[in-house]
């Protein structure tokens, strides 16, 4: 279908800004600065608790921000680890503050957003190891924050979805922590970039094919790392032992096809998995609440789905995968 009218309006507004080139001469720090400059303030969704603190993880501490929609000591909320997108290079817990607020409000889960180290200063596996260490920290310490550490899931948008999938693989292969679910929102999963959607959505859809290939180069550092399933989860030989996954894709996105191929694998191999495409919108639409109607529809879906995951987990022994 054609781009939604509201998605077209967003693209028209963005077209008025200077275009960023992505080639071998593009400086990552300049891209990061330009991304920060484009950020606009938003009205923050109110929550019962929003707290920023530092996680004492190795090799370096990282900032984290906790979002809790309601405080009830009798029923501590489960914990959703959230890893922000931005091509592993740009964005932060600040850029994704409103997404995390809305996710906590829609789901009732506590959301713990992680400010992992970014590429190219910290290339693969640095960001992934930060996210995994933060997840282990939450499993060991979340109860001290009034949260249900026995019910833990991972989520991320774009490159954060890649990191969430990588954390799920590490948790399986390293023997924990146990995860209930993984939510992968338009994730990059394969650096080869040879799917039809890379050609169909190469330009004009917010995320360009050239930009995505550039982001992959920053994250991988050494191109040989692209052969690792921890960097490219689509290459995982088996998904056995992973938690069920919810995979969200956008029609106008170079990453659409790889996300849907992986989502279909999850549906076949991991009971309880879901693949959902949002037609008429582009990469990054979840962060466009108030401008793109399907952002709100997707958030409502994710919130309701997480409520089901929690309900089902309480009907089963705590600490198990869904």
Neighbours of 73 (CB within 10 A): 6
Active site residue 283: yes
Q: Which of 283, 289, 313, 322 is catalytic?
A: 283
Q: Which of 97, 148, 190, 253 is catalytic?
A: 253
Dihedral angle computed from the Cα positions of residues 71, 76, 78 and 80, in that order, rounded to the nearest 10 degrees? 40
Residue 233 is given by DSSP the state G
Which of 293, 256, 292 has its CA nearest to residue 12? 292
Active site residue 181: no
Q: Which two tokens stand for residue 59?
A: 């090799």
Active site residue 253: yes
Q: Which of 92, 158, 197, 322 is catalytic?
A: 158
92-99: long-range pairs with CB below 8 Å, 24+ = 93/52, 93/63, 93/64, 93/65, 95/35, 95/39, 96/157, 96/160, 96/287, 97/44, 97/65, 98/42, 98/44, 98/45, 98/287, 98/289, 99/157, 99/286, 99/287
CA distance 205 to 98: 22
CA distance 113 to 144: 17
Active site residues: 158, 253, 283
């Amino acid at each position: 279908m054609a781009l939604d009218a509201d998605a077209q309006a967003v693209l028209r507004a963005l077209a008025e800004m200077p275009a960023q080139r992505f080639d071998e001469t593009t400086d990552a720090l300049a891209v990061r600065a330009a991304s920060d400059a484009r950020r606009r303030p938003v009205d923050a969704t109110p929550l019962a608790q929003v707290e920023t603190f530092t996680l004492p993880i190795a090799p370096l501490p990282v900032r984290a921000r906790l979002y809790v929609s309601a405080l009830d000591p009798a029923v501590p909320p489960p914990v959703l680890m959230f890893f922000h997108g931005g091509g592993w290079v740009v964005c932060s817990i600040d850029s994704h503050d409103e997404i995390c607020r809305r996710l906590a409000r829609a789901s009732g889960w506590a959301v713990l957003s992680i400010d992992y180290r970014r590429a190219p200063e910290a290339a693969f596996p640095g960001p992934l190891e930060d996210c995994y260490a933060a997840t282990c920290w939450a499993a060991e310490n979340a109860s001290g924050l009034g949260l249900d550490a026995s019910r833990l899931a991972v989520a991320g948008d774009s490159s954060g979805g890649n990191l969430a999938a990588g954390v799920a693989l590490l948790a399986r292969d390293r023997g924990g922590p146990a995860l209930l679910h993984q939510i992968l929102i338009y994730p990059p999963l394969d650096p080869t970039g040879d799917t039809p959607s890379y050609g169909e959505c190469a330009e004009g859809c917010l995320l360009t094919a050239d930009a995505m290939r550039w982001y992959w180069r920053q994250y991988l550092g050494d191109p040989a790392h692209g052969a690792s399933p921890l960097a490219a989860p689509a290459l995982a030989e088996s998904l056995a032992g992973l938690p069920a996954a919810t995979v969200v894709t956008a029609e106008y996105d170079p990453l659409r096809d790889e996300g849907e191929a992986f989502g279909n694998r999850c549906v076949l191999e991991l009971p309880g998995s879901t693949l959902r495409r949002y037609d008429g919108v582009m990469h990054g639409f979840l962060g466009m609440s108030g401008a793109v109607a399907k952002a709100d529809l997707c958030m409502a879906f994710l919130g309701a789905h997480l409520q089901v995951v929690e309900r089902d987990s309480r009907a089963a022994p705590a600490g198990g995968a869904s």
